[in-house]
Structure 1
Amino acid sequence: MKKLLLATVAVLGTAGFASAADLPARMPVKAPPPVMAPAFSWTGCYIGGFVGGAWGDDATTYPVGAGYGYSYSLDSSFIGGGTLGCNWQPIGSQFVLGLEGEVGYLSLEGSAYDPVLGLVAPEYSSTKIGDWYGMITGRLGVTWDRALLYVKGGVAFVDVETAISGTLGAVSYAGTTSDTIATWTVGGGVEWAMSPNWSIKAEYMYIGLDETQTVAFPATVPSFAASYDTEFNGIHTAKVGLNYRFGGGAPLVARY
């Protein structure tokens, strides 16, 4: 009986080994490839604020017909304001196209006495640029990850006022001219996306005034010159800002 049991076990073991040998070899299982999230996109509209500073080139006043002129510097100014704009980044491209509007505060002022006429009759010339300015600009940028390096340019609007006052004997006279000047602006900057919605920027813009403003007096005013021309050059601005983008771009991470 014992021998019969041993023989049965041996036969069953041999049959099981043979059946296992007939099974196909197990194929290795490959892990699925990682699925990359879309790259960060700058497409979308945004609103922001900024602070910075502005400084201007000298203003020069010429008493018309007097054959001379004199210059005076403009004080630097704090600037601050807001921006509203939209960006478009084509899928798969590093380039970003944008349109931006900017409105801000600035106040550049300067003045001087006429160094020649002042020897006979004190005469005073002053200039004020501000208290506000605006820009409408196009923007072209190139991105590296979340960094955006860009140039921009367009039209700027600046309020400019010139005044002349003086005395000649017992007679006092004064004149003022004020205009809102539309001119060109150009510059650039760098922007960094801290998150899908928030970004910070640093930017320089030049406003090219290149204008002449004239203050004229009536013929009854006993001054040495009937009118005065004041020339302006450019305004330099530098700012830092914070933007909030609606919607936000996709994060630069990989999903596994």
Structure 2
Amino acid sequence: MNKMLLVIAGLGIASSLPLAATAEQMGQSAQPGYPRVLRTDTSWSGFYAGLNLGGGFGNNSIVTTGQVTANVNNVNGGARTPLTSVDRSGIIGGGQIGYDHQFQHFVLGLETDLAGTGISGQRTVVTTALTGGASLNNTFSSNLKSLGTVRGRVGLAAGRVLFYGTGGLAYGSTESSANFFGPSPTNVLQFTANNSSMSTGYAVGGGAEYKMARHLSTKAEYLYYKLEDQTLNVAVIAGSGGGGTGYNTTFQSKGNVLRLGANYRF
């Protein structure tokens, strides 16, 4: 998955070059002796708006602790997994608006974007009960439903190409769940929790943007994001046979985004 996303990003940059050449060819006058080249104003100053599409991926740690003695003993003895992780991946797509100001070859800007995502992952860990030796299933699910950022951009312009670094605030809607089952073969659900919430954090990254025409640019971008951890009360289900009160399970929410985009520059 990671290699595929890197290839897509590379193809996106490469594909913009012949498109730009075609645009210039279309700008030539049809009258012999009077060539006219399409204006490609290389100034990066001004407002812009556009769309983006790509993929996200990352490994997120999950930590579980017991609430009372019975649950603490289960974690310490390995009947409930104290530490695991879940790989999340999926498509991300949305839009962005921003403003850049160029000082000679340097560009300073501010951009905000918002995207819907299908970045999700699920994992089931099988452990062994402290008594009887029966198998216990522990299922974790982690989803990122949306991701937005407000970031500064610092770049170096080389004609039609802008190389930039970026960083700032990130926010998103996350959903996490944990379900711990009793001994097989009955596999009764004994402890459960599910929670959705908005959380904030940060995002950093960089990219390259190419000006295909006076009002049109394309870009390839990488971002790393980290949102606040989310702790769930995985409570015992009355009558299920589960002991104690339950567990506290903490989910990380972080990952990588690779995406291609296009902007209309006013």
Q: Same fold (TM over 0.5)?
A: yes
Larger radius of gyration: 1
Show the 5 A alignment for 1:136-215: 136-168=150-182, 172-173=189-190, 174-209=192-227, 211-215=229-233
TM-fit CA distance, 1:114 = 4.3
- Count of residues in correspondence between the two structures: 208
Give the equivalent residue in structure 2 for 1:33: none
Does the CA contact (< 8 Å) of 1:161 and 1:177 recur in 2?
yes
Q: Note closer, same or farther for the CA distance 1:117–1:59 as it changes in structure 2 (3 Å cut).
A: farther
CA distance in 1, matches of 2:95, 2:124: 33
Does the CA contact (< 8 Å) of 1:121 and 1:166 recur in 2?
no
What is the one-letter code of the residue matched to 1:81?
Answer: G
Listed as ranges, the gaps of 5+ residues in structure 2 are: 1-38, 67-71
Q: Note closer, same or farther for the CA distance 1:203–1:96 as it changes in structure 2 (3 Å cut).
A: same
Show the 5 A alignment for 1:1-256: 40-64=42-66, 65=72, 66-67=75-76, 69-90=82-103, 93-106=104-117, 107-117=119-129, 120=134, 122-168=136-182, 172-173=189-190, 174-209=192-227, 211-217=229-235, 222-223=242-243, 226-232=246-252, 234-246=254-266
Listed as ranges, the gaps of 5+ residues in structure 1 are: 1-36, 247-256
Structure 1 segments of 4 or more deviating over 3 A? 116-123, 166-173, 218-221
Q: Note closer, same or farther for the CA distance 1:200–1:194 as it changes in structure 2 (3 Å cut).
A: same
SS where residue 263 of structure 2 aligns?
Answer: strand
Q: TM-score, normalised by structure 1?
A: 0.71
What is the one-letter code of the residue matched to 2:207?
Answer: G
Q: Percent identity of the aligned residues?
A: 25
Q: Note closer, same or farther for the CA distance 1:61–1:154 as it changes in structure 2 (3 Å cut).
A: same
CA distance in 1, matches of 2:140, 2:106: 45
Does the CA contact (< 8 Å) of 1:162 and 1:215 recur in 2?
no
SS where residue 148 of structure 1 aligns?
Answer: strand
Cα deviation 1:58-81 (Å, max 9, x = unaligned): 332424332352423324211111
Does the CA contact (< 8 Å) of 1:70 and 1:114 recur in 2?
no
SS where residue 191 of structure 1 aligns?
Answer: strand
What is the one-letter code of the residue matched to 2:166?
Answer: K
CA distance in 2, matches of 1:78, 1:130: 11
Does the CA contact (< 8 Å) of 1:129 and 1:158 recur in 2?
no
TM-fit CA distance, 1:95 = 0.9
CA distance in 1, matches of 2:83, 2:124: 8
CA distance in 2, matches of 1:109, 1:243: 31
Cα deviation 1:187-236 (Å, max 9, x = unaligned): 00000101110001010000023624232315957346621323326300
What is the one-letter code of the residue matched to 1:154?
Answer: G
TM-fit CA distance, 1:160 = 2.0
